[in-house]
């Protein structure tokens, strides 16, 4: 007998992410932390632009979710967001996978 692996919720971010718009992901992660145990994946495939303030807000939201027991990973990170993560030296902060399907295998 084996345990069935539950599908982790995926939050798909899109558009431009700055300090103003990143509050949405904070609210969603906070809500998911109350409803979900385990993990959540942020799909960044449709993010056109993210500045350091937007990234900072996402980092803070992820930290709150982690403190509530929710593991957060990123997938489909666009090249521009990947470069921002590297420039801000935050690579170690995020667990990353190529696709949301791959996040289930991690």
Tell me the domains of the chain and their CATH numbers. 10-99 (3.30.750.24)
Q: What is the pTM of this model?
A: 0.76
For the chain, 106 residues long, give each residue's pLDDT as a single digit of tens.
Answer: 333 345 678 888 888 888 777 677 777 767 766 776 778 888 999 998 999 888 887 888 788 788 878 888 899 999 999 999 999 999 888 888 776 554 444 4
Residue 70: C-alpha distances to residues 1, 12, 37 (Å): 27, 17, 6
Q: Cα–Cα distance between 62 and 73 in angstroms, integer? A: 9
């Amino acid at each position: 007998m084996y345990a069935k692996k539950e599908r982790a919720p995926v939050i798909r971010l899109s558009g431009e992410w700055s300090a103003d718009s990143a509050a949405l992901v904070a609210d969603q992660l906070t809500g998911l932390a109350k409803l979900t145990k385990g993990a959540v994946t942020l799909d960044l495939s449709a993010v056109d632009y993210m500045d350091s303030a937007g990234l900072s807000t996402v980092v803070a939201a992820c930290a709150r979710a982690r403190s509530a027991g929710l593991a957060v990973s990123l997938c489909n990170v666009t090249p521009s967001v990947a470069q921002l993560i590297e420039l801000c030296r935050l690579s170690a902060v995020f667990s990353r996978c190529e696709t949301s399907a791959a996040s289930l295998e991690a």
